[in-house]
Amino acid sequence: MSCHTCFRAPASRTRFFCPTCARNQLYQLRVETARVLLEKQSIAERIQAGVILETTQAEWSGEIKETSIAYQNGLSTKRSLQIIAKGEAESSERMRLLGDQLDNLTAEIKDKRLEISQRKLALARRHSDSESAQYQLGEREAAILANIQNNTKRTDHLWHSLHSKTAEARIFLCREAANLYGLQRKTRNKEGLSQEVYTMGGIDIIDLRDMNGKTGTTPAYISTSLFNVAHLLVLISHYLSLRLPAEITLPHKDHPIPTICAPSASYLSRDPNSVAYSLRNPPSVPSGPRTASPRPSRPRPLSIDRALPKLAREDPGTYALFLEGVTLLAWNVSWLCRTQGINITSESWEEVCNIGKNMWQLLVAPPAQPSTLSRAFAGRDIQAKMRASKDSPRTTIQRTMSFPMLGHYSHGTAHSFLGAVEGAEFMRTWRLPTPTKIVDKLKSTLLGEMASAEWELLEGDWDDASQEPSDSMLLQHPSTTSASPERQGNNSGDSVNGAVAGAGNLSGPRGPTRMKGTSGWTKLRNR
Q: Which residues contact 277 (CB under 8 A, 6 or more apart)?
A: none
pLDDT of 281 strictly over 90: no
Say what percent of the chain tops pLDDT 90: 26
Amino acid at 148: I
Between 355 and 190, the higher pLDDT residue? 355
Q: Who wins on pLDDT, 505 or 209?
A: 209
User: Looking at per-residue confidence, does 81 or 238 come out higher?
Assistant: 238
Measure the N-to-C terminal CA separation of the chain; round to a whole number of Å: 138
Is the model's pLDDT at 28 over the cut of 70?
A: yes
pLDDT of residue 9: 72
The residue ranges of every structural domain in the chain are 19-134, 169-282+297-390+401-433, 460-505
Residue 482 has pLDDT above 60, yes or no: no
Please state the pTM of the whole predicted model.
0.57
Helices 355-363 and 316-339 cross at an angle (nearest 10°) of 30
**344: pLDDT strictly greater than 70:** no
Looking at residue 408, its pLDDT comes to 86
Above 50 in pLDDT, residue 285?
no
- The stretch 477-490 carries a mean pLDDT of 34
Give CB contacts under 8 A, 24+ apart, made by 172-180. 173/239, 174/236, 174/239, 174/240, 174/362, 174/363, 174/406, 174/407, 175/363, 175/364, 177/232, 177/235, 177/236, 177/239, 177/363, 178/232, 178/236, 178/359, 178/363, 178/364
What is the pLDDT confidence band of residue 259, given thresholds at 50, 70 and 90?
very high
- pLDDT higher than threshold 90 for residue 76: no
Q: With bands split at pLDDT 50, 70 and 90, how would you rate the model's confidence at 79?
A: confident
For the chain, what percent of residues have pLDDT higher than 70? 65
- Considering only 72-86, 167-181, 376-390, 422-436, which range has the smallest mean pLDDT? 376-390
Q: Which amino acid is at 527?
A: R
The more confident residue out of 244 and 45 is: 244
Q: What is the pLDDT of residue 62?
A: 64
pLDDT number for residue 26: 80
Q: How far apart are CA 502 and CA 523, in angstroms?
A: 8
pLDDT at residue 239 tops 60 = yes
Mean pLDDT computed over 300-312: 88
Q: Is the pLDDT of residue 53 over 50?
A: yes
Q: Smallest Cα–Cα separation from 378: which of 328, 428, 333?
A: 428
| Cβ neighbours of residue 283 closer than 8 Å, sequence gap 6 or more | 317
More confident residue, 245 or 370: 245
At 271 the pLDDT is 54
- For 104-133, the pLDDT digits (tens) are 999 999 999 999 999 999 999 999 999 888
Specify the pLDDT at position 291.
Answer: 42
pLDDT for 157 equals 93
**What HEC string does 146-208 produce?**
HHHHHHHHHHHHHHHHHHHHHHHHHHHHHHHHHHHCCCEEEEEEECCEEEEEEEECCEECCCH
CA distances from 121 to 112, 118, 127, 337, 509 (A): 14, 5, 10, 75, 118
Residue 323, SS3 per DSSP = helix
What mean pLDDT comes out for the span 81-109? 90
User: Please, which residues have CB within 8 angstroms of residue 167's CB and are 6 or more apart in sequence?
Assistant: 405, 406, 407, 408
User: What letters, b where the CB count within 10 A reaches 16 and e where it falls short, cover 299-328?
Assistant: bbbbbbebbbbbbbbebbebbbbbbbbbbb
pLDDT given for residue 287 in this prediction: 39
Render pLDDT for 422-436 as a digit per residue (tens, 0 to 9).
888 888 877 777 888
